[in-house]
């Protein structure tokens, strides 16, 4: 896990640096009528960089003494996690094309079938009923417009 | 005092309207379900419904949101006891003794004990809320920008100094949250900050999206990592269990009272129900003579953390409405919802929107009261929700989260952010970067910056403005002490240890 720790503190170091650069651009001193725009972010960034370096040093010291410690993702756990993440990302990307509810229906069906090995009947029932009820609840009852995508409006004419 | 009683009656009048009661019950049911399901936590569940709630009048909307929280507080215990899976982070301590008691053949009793403890903690929390809220609000009216900023610093230094996890990592979390809050347009100068020419970043990061990602998806990744075996103990809560539970709880008044007090105290400091439940469990274990029974189904081991968790949850409302400082992550989300309604939490809320505030307080009474009966009567039904195959529930949760993320601002980019926050949430949880202060910083970020700016302008650029008596100085001093506590307390211990070591050597 130490490698991941190092990675995250490097990430924070990176974030702190780009915020620092931007706040210098905005100006971080006392302006005409109060602190300039970059004042608050500047000190945030300074603090962030300090913390990141200190954590980095701590982790590096422990790494040298004790090695890499446990794995970040336990053995065999990476697959289920990716099975959640990648189809979910695909669903979000698909939403831009066909709209959320349709993409969700496909996502539900895919996951239930591929990972859960659910029977076809249950799979089809759930992946049709759940998006339908959520569509009625959110789009019609609560009037919260959910994405329809490029082709969604034509595929589902209601 | 009498005036407050009148106010409470007025509030009850509002809260008891049929529309509001219906909404409260819906919220409670949703909350219990949310509490039972992993991945849809209290904070997350509330966040998803905020875009829906804005269509309602403010009082009703906040009643719905807070009822979800009360429901989730009750519901998290159900899966802890029956499945050994905490439905909420604050129910982890319940698994220590709740599940063994259930496995030992007394699941009904465990459930009843837990709900009774919840109820007691809730009552204490709401009583505190009712009586102290007006007093603190009066006091807080004297707060200027410097004091507001000082209170926020106190809040965050409590996380750093007393949080229990690495202070450096807590600091980094908090700063990261503030930085995320700062991205986008600066209100005062109109300049774009940290957008680097990317149009999508102009809108900044919305805390609802962050909460759904960090708490929701992150939680799902963690759950999936541990495998999907949800073998539960089925339980019915019969009258016999209820009678037994009531008798049993009277045998452990110390656990009940200590738990509730610890809970209410922890709810005032931000951190909320989760640290409260652990602290109560730890304290209780230390103070009872039958320590070895803890972990095997001791009644006190259920009573203390549950009372604490619920006490913390309800008392978290107090600093939120009086000072604008949410006492728990879920309360932070509820506060965000308030701000969306245009209600600025803080002392002015009592003056300008008394009906709203007292309606909310009254609904805390009613919601927790109703919730107790709901959960007692229907616990097995709620537990059955988890019997549905995880492979079916999980994608539905992701789907609902995506709806919540999109509905905030009708932007697809928010849904992508949700995914990114989900991965970050998983990483942070595994690497011990606390997420609660990050979310708090994201919610309070703009307010904190504004307070700091105003204070500095009043003080003509001198940071000494924050150390002015009579109000700002003690708060800042307390904040600094708590902030440096991790450095101070081991030093104190060393000082005390050396003389005794020397005396041992000589004898």
Output the pLDDT for position B506. 47
Nearest chain B residue to A110 by CA distance is: B395
Separation CA B326–CA B333 (nearest Å) = 9
Q: How far apart are the CA of B214 and the nearest CA of chain A, in angstroms?
A: 14
Inspect the interface and report whether the beta carbons of A143 and B456 lie closer than 8 Å. no
Three-state DSSP class for B116?
helix
Backbone φ and ψ of B57, nearest 5°: -60, 150
Backbone φ and ψ of B475, nearest 5°: -65, -45
| Domain span holding position B78 | 2-147+232-432
Q: Work out the pLDDT band at B507, boundaries 50, 70, 90.
A: very low
A47, A77, A100 member nearest B175 (Cβ):
A47
User: Could you tell me which of B171, B367, B152 has the C-alpha nearest to residue B269?
Assistant: B152
Instruction: Identify all chain B residues contacting A144, using CB atoms and an 8 Å cutoff.
Output: 51-52, 403, 407
Q: How far apart are the CA of A55 and the nearest CA of chain B, in angstroms?
A: 7
Within a domain: B385: yes
A77-80 long-range contacts, CB within 8 A, separation 24+: A77/B224, A77/B225, A77/B226, A80/A115, A80/B224, A80/B225, A80/B227, A80/B228
Output the pLDDT for position B270. 65
Higher pLDDT, B290 or A65: A65
Domain ranges of chain A: 2-66, 78-155
Separation CA A109–CA B119 (nearest Å) = 41
What is the gyration radius of the CA atoms in chain A, in angstroms?
A: 24
Average pLDDT over residues B134-139: 80
Separation CA B355–CA B9 (nearest Å) = 11
Instruction: Identify all chain A residues contacting B406, using CB atoms and an 8 Å cutoff.
Output: 100, 146-147
Inspect the interface and report whether the beta carbons of B456 and A142 lie closer than 8 Å. no
pLDDT by residue (tens digit) across B306-335?
Answer: 888 888 888 888 888 888 888 777 888 888
Q: What is the pTM of this model?
A: 0.80
CB B408 within 8 A of CB B53: no
pLDDT of residue B22 exceeding 70, the answer is yes
Inspect the interface and report whether the beta carbons of A145 and B410 lie closer than 8 Å. yes
A35, A112, A142 member nearest B55 (Cβ):
A142
Higher pLDDT, A139 or B24: B24
Inspect the interface and report whether the beta carbons of B431 and A116 lie closer than 8 Å. no
Q: Work out the pLDDT band at B420, boundaries 50, 70, 90.
A: very high
Average pLDDT over residues A46-67: 86
Output the pLDDT for position B258. 85
Strands (E), B145-203: 184-185, 192-193
Output the pLDDT for position A31. 73
Output the pLDDT for position B31. 87
Q: Work out the pLDDT band at B417, boundaries 50, 70, 90.
A: very high
Instruction: Identify all chain A residues contacting B228, using CB atoms and an 8 Å cutoff.
Output: 80
Question: Model ipTM?
Answer: 0.88
Output the pLDDT for position B34. 83
Inspect the interface and report whether the beta carbons of B193 and A131 lie closer than 8 Å. no
Instruction: Identify all chain A residues contacting B419, using CB atoms and an 8 Å cutoff.
Output: 85, 88-89, 92
pLDDT of residue A75 exceeding 60, the answer is yes
Between A and B, how many CB-CB pairs are < 8 A?
A: 174
Percentage of residues of chain B with pLDDT beyond 90 = 4
Output the pLDDT for position B231. 59
A19, A51, A126 member nearest B172 (Cβ):
A51
Inspect the interface and report whether the beta carbons of B52 and A138 lie closer than 8 Å. yes
Higher pLDDT, A44 or B407: A44
Q: How far apart are the CA of A116 and the nearest CA of chain B, in angstroms?
A: 5
Q: Work out the pLDDT band at B175, boundaries 50, 70, 90.
A: very high
Inspect the interface and report whether the beta carbons of A48 and B176 lie closer than 8 Å. yes
Average pLDDT over residues B8-27: 83
Instruction: Identify all chain B residues contacting A15, using CB atoms and an 8 Å cutoff.
Output: 176, 179
Separation CA B287–CA B265 (nearest Å) = 18
Inspect the interface and report whether the beta carbons of A12 and B395 lie closer than 8 Å. no
Inspect the interface and report whether the beta carbons of B392 and A35 lie closer than 8 Å. no
Within a domain: B269: yes
pLDDT by residue (tens digit) across B75-94?
Answer: 888 878 887 777 777 777 88
3-state helix, strand, coil in chain A (%, to 5): 75, 5, 25
Within a domain: B72: yes
Nearest chain A residue to B441 by CA distance is: A44
Within a domain: B207: no
Inspect the interface and report whether the beta carbons of B168 and A58 lie closer than 8 Å. yes
Separation CA A109–CA B403 (nearest Å) = 18
Within a domain: B223: no
Top mean pLDDT of B113-117, B233-237, B247-251 is at B113-117
B392, B399, B456 member nearest A104 (Cβ):
B399
B392, B394, B449 member nearest A84 (Cβ):
B394
Q: How far apart are the CA of B307 and the nearest CA of chain A, in angstroms?
A: 34
User: Could you tell me which of B18, B89, B21 has the C-alpha nearest to residue B330?
Assistant: B89
Inspect the interface and report whether the beta carbons of B172 and A72 lie closer than 8 Å. no
Average pLDDT over residues B118-137: 85
Beta partners for residue A35, in sequence order: A30
pLDDT of residue B277 exceeding 90, the answer is no
Q: How many distinct structural domains can be found in chain B?
A: 1
Average pLDDT over residues B393-417: 86
Output the pLDDT for position A127. 84
Inspect the interface and report whether the beta carbons of B419 and A22 lie closer than 8 Å. no
Inspect the interface and report whether the beta carbons of A116 and B390 lie closer than 8 Å. yes
Within a domain: B393: yes
Instruction: Identify all chain A residues contacting B145, using CB atoms and an 8 Å cutoff.
Output: none
Instruction: Identify all chain B residues contacting A16, using CB atoms and an 8 Å cutoff.
Output: 175
Instruction: Identify all chain B residues contacting A77, using CB atoms and an 8 Å cutoff.
Output: 224-226
Where does residue B23 rank: exposed (0-12), middle (13-18), buried (19+ CB within 10 A)?
Answer: buried
Inspect the interface and report whether the beta carbons of A84 and B449 lie closer than 8 Å. no
CB B311 within 8 A of CB B300: no
Q: Work out the pLDDT band at B505, boundaries 50, 70, 90.
A: very low
Instruction: Identify all chain A residues contacting B51, using CB atoms and an 8 Å cutoff.
Output: 144
Nearest chain B residue to A34 by CA distance is: B457
Q: Work out the pLDDT band at B291, boundaries 50, 70, 90.
A: low
Instruction: Identify all chain B residues contacting A37, using CB atoms and an 8 Å cutoff.
Output: 186, 188-189, 191, 193
Q: How far apart are the CA of B461 and the nearest CA of chain A, in angstroms?
A: 7
CB B207 within 8 A of CB B213: no
Inspect the interface and report whether the beta carbons of B431 and A1 lie closer than 8 Å. yes
Q: How far apart are the CA of A34 and the nearest CA of chain B, in angstroms?
A: 6
Average pLDDT over residues B121-129: 86
- Token pair for A30: 């006392």
Output the pLDDT for position B503. 47
Instruction: Identify all chain A residues contacting B172, using CB atoms and an 8 Å cutoff.
Output: 9, 12, 48, 51-52, 55
pLDDT by residue (tens digit) across A84-115?
Answer: 889 889 988 888 888 888 888 888 888 888 87
Mean pLDDT, all residues of chain B: 80
pLDDT of residue B496 exceeding 80, the answer is no
What is the gyration radius of the CA atoms in chain B, in angstroms?
A: 23
Separation CA B20–CA B6 (nearest Å) = 20
């Amino acid at each position: 896990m130490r490698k991941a720790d190092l990675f995250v503190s490097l990430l924070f170091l990176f974030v702190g640096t780009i915020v620092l650069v931007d706040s210098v651009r905005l100006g971080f001193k006392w302006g005409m009528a109060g602190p300039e725009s970059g004042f608050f972010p500047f000190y945030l960034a300074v603090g962030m960089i300090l913390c990141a370096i200190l954590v980095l040093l701590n982790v590096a010291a422990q790494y040298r003494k004790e090695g890499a410690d446990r794995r970040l993702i336990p053995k065999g756990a990476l697959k289920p996690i990716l099975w959640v993440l990648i189809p979910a990302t695909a669903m979000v990307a698909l939403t831009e094309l066909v709209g959320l509810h349709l993409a969700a229906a496909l996502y539900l069906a895919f996951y239930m079938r591929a990972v859960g090995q659910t029977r076809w009947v249950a799979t089809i029932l759930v992946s049709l009923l759940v998006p339908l009820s959520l569509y009625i609840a959110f789009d019609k009852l609560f009037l919260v417009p959910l994405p329809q995508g490029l082709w969604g409006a034509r595929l589902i004419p209601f | 005092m009498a005036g407050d009683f009148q106010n409470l009656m007025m509030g009850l009048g509002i809260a008891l309207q049929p529309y509001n009661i219906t909404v409260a019950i819906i919220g409670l049911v949703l909350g219990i379900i949310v509490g039972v399901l992993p991945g849809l936590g209290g904070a997350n569940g509330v966040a998803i419904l905020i875009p829906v709630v804005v269509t309602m009048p403010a009082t009703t909307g906040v009643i719905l949101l807070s009822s979800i929280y009360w429901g989730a507080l009750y519901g998290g215990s159900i899966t802890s006891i029956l499945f050994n899976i905490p439905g909420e982070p604050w129910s982890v301590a319940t698994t220590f003794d709740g599940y063994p008691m259930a496995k030992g053949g007394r699941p009904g009793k465990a459930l009843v004990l837990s709900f009774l403890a919840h109820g007691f903690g809730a009552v204490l929390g709401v009583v505190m809320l009712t009586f102290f809220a007006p007093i603190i609000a009066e006091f807080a009216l004297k707060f200027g920008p410097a004091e507001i900023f000082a209170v926020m610093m106190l809040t965050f230094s409590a996380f750093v100094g007393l949080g229990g996890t690495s202070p450096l990592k807590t600091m980094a979390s908090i700063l990261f949250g503030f930085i995320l809050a700062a991205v986008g347009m600066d209100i005062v100068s109109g300049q774009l900050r940290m957008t680097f020419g990317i149009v999508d970043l102009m809108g900044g990061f919305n805390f609802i999206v962050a909460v759904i990602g960090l708490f929701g998806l992150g939680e799902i990744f963690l759950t999936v990592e541990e495998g999907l075996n949800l073998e539960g103990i089925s339980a019915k809560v019969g009258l016999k269990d209820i009678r037994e539970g009531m008798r049993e709880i009277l045998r452990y008044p110390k656990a009940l009272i200590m738990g509730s007090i610890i809970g209410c105290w922890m709810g005032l400091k931000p951190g909320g129900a989760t640290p409260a439940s652990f602290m109560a469990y730890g304290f209780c274990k230390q103070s009872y003579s039958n320590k070895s029974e803890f972990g095997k189904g001791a009644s006190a081991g259920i009573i203390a953390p549950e009372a604490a968790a619920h006490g913390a949850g309800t008392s978290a409302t107090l600093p939120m409405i009086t000072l604008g400082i949410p006492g728990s992550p879920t309360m932070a989300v509820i506060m965000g919802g308030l701000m969306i309604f245009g209600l600025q939490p803080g002392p002015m809320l009592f003056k300008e929107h008394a009906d709203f505030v007292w309606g909310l307080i009254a609904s805390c009474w009613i919601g927790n009261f109703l919730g107790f009966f709901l959960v007692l009567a229907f616990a097995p039904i709620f537990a059955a929700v988890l019997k549905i195959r995880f492979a079916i529930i999980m994608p539905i949760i992701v789907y609902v989260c995506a709806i919540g993320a999109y509905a905030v601002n009708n932007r697809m980019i928010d849904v992508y952010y949700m995914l990114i926050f989900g991965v970050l949430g998983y990483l942070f949880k595994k690497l011990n970067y606390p997420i609660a202060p990050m979310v708090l910083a994201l919610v309070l970020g703009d307010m904190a910056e504004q307070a700091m700016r105003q204070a500095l302008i009043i003080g003509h650029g001198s940071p000494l403005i924050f150390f002015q008596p009579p109000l700002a100085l003690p708060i800042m001093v307390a904040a600094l002490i708590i902030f440096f506590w991790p450095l101070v307390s081991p030093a104190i211990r060393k000082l005390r240890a050396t003389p005794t070591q020397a005396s041992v050597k000589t004898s």
